[in-house]
Amino acid sequence: MVKVKRETEAAGLDLEHELPAGNGNDNDGSVSTEGAGNPSAASESLETELQRLRAERDSLLDRLARAQAEFENARRRAAKEQQDFRDYAAVDVIKSLLPVVDSFERALSAKSGAADFRGGIELIYKQVQDALAKLGVRPVPAVGEPFDPHFHEAIEMVETADVPDHEVLEELQRGYKFKDRLLRPAMVKVAKNPGK
């Protein structure tokens, strides 16, 4: 038996009728389009295609979820590596300053005269300078140099005819650079030569 649709002229409704398997003609001579071919094969084909598309969708969603998880893990690893790098960089700085701390402790515990104490402090100062130099920290040249607003901070202008105009006369606080980066500008007194 094959199901066919027939439009009724009076109501305009689709009615399904069962007809004996044959040429697919109904009473008014129209031919059914749904019954053409093997309907069970077409249904199976559509069902197979639907299952294939669902499997492909599930596979793509799974790949997307994995990619998102991998990205999140990579982001966490990168953040942890950066934090570890900062921590280990700080460890190197601390290790280079520990001998200086030891020297201060020895100087404070020593019972000696003022001259020996000053000699000990100068030795500690040299240790600090050496430790900073190993880390790439260099003092900014100041006294006798022309004033450079990129590296010097003028605290006072001093009128004098002894040196050229805008030359640094005195360094009040030393400035430092780390490699090519300015850490702190030097605080300086600058010459103002009205005659030049």
> In this structure, what CATH number is given to the domain that contains residue 189?
2.30.22.10
Which bin fits 145, alpha (ψ -120 to 50), beta or left (φ > 0)? beta
44 inside domain: no
59 inside domain: no
**Residue 76: its pLDDT value, please?**
94
- State whether 130 and 161 are in the same domain: no
Pairing outcome for strands 137-139 and 176-178: antiparallel
Pairing outcome for strands 2-7 and 14-19: antiparallel
5 inside domain: no
User: What is the pLDDT tens value at each position of the chain, 196 positions in all?
Assistant: 344 444 444 444 444 444 444 444 444 444 444 445 577 878 888 989 999 999 999 999 999 999 999 999 999 999 999 988 877 777 777 777 777 777 777 777 767 777 777 777 888 888 888 888 888 888 888 888 888 888 888 888 888 778 778 888 888 888 888 888 888 888 888 888 776 5
Range of the domain at 78: 65-135
**Residues 130, 85: Cα–Cα separation, whole Å:** 23
The token duo for 8 is: 């009724």
- State whether 84 and 123 are in the same domain: yes
**Residues 14, 176: Cα–Cα separation, whole Å:** 92
107 inside domain: yes
Distances, alpha carbon 89 to alpha carbons 10, 85, 93, 94, 95, in Å:
91, 6, 7, 9, 10
Instruction: Give the CA angle between residues 128, 130, 132 to the nearest 5°.
Output: 70
> Domain total for the chain?
2
The 3-state DSSP composition of the chain as helix, strand, coil percent (nearest 5) reads 45, 25, 30
Q: At 141, is the secondary structure helix, strand, or coil?
A: coil
**Residues 127, 100: Cα–Cα separation, whole Å:** 6
162 inside domain: yes
Task: With beta carbons less than 8 A apart as the criterion, state whether 188 and 168 touch.
Answer: yes
